Amino acid sequence: MIVRRVPWSDAGATTLREAQRVEIEARYGTPDSEPGPAPSADDITAFFVAYDDRNAPVGCGGLRELPGNEAEVKRMFVLPEHRGTGVSRAILFELELFGRERGWSRLVLETGDRQPDAVRFYEREGFTRIPNFAYYADSAHSLCYEKPLFAVDPAAEISCEGRQ
């Protein structure tokens, strides 16, 4: 598997986002369950797609930069037949790496109460619940999370002198 940064308009990315919306519609019973503005090419800072060994797109995720030195995870999705294979972890790794390289302090996200698999994944990956924010503040189905990002300063030296 390989994860690549792609344009929002990439054919594989578009197909995966469409599949994600179909799944969300089935879970929530409505085609419009997004409490806030839907992500678009104009507001997604980076979008990544994971490909299997045949170069077929199998998962995706993006970042929307927010004020305050942070970003929101958007459109994380893995095809059902590829879940449990490490695809989501690989995508999240790239999202976090991108955020750290940008010097962002944290990632935030919103998922829903009918997505227990997503809740388990994010909590396992170190995200913690926070009060619903922004467009999600009054959403009965929204669950919001954060994960701090710690920028690595390659010029910083770590000294182990005096440690035993």
Domains and CATH numbers, the chain: 2-148 (3.40.630.30)
| pLDDT tens digit sequence for 72-129 | 999 999 999 999 999 999 999 999 999 999 999 999 999 999 999 999 999 999 999 9
DSSP, collapsed to helix, strand or coil, labels residue 13 as helix
pTM to 2 decimal places? 0.89
Task: Identify which of 61, 59, 58, 68 has the alpha carbon closest to the alpha carbon of residue 44.
Answer: 61
More confident residue, 104 or 153: 104
Q: Contact, 130 vs 144, CB < 8 A? A: yes
| pLDDT tens digit sequence for 33-55 | 888 889 999 999 999 999 999 99
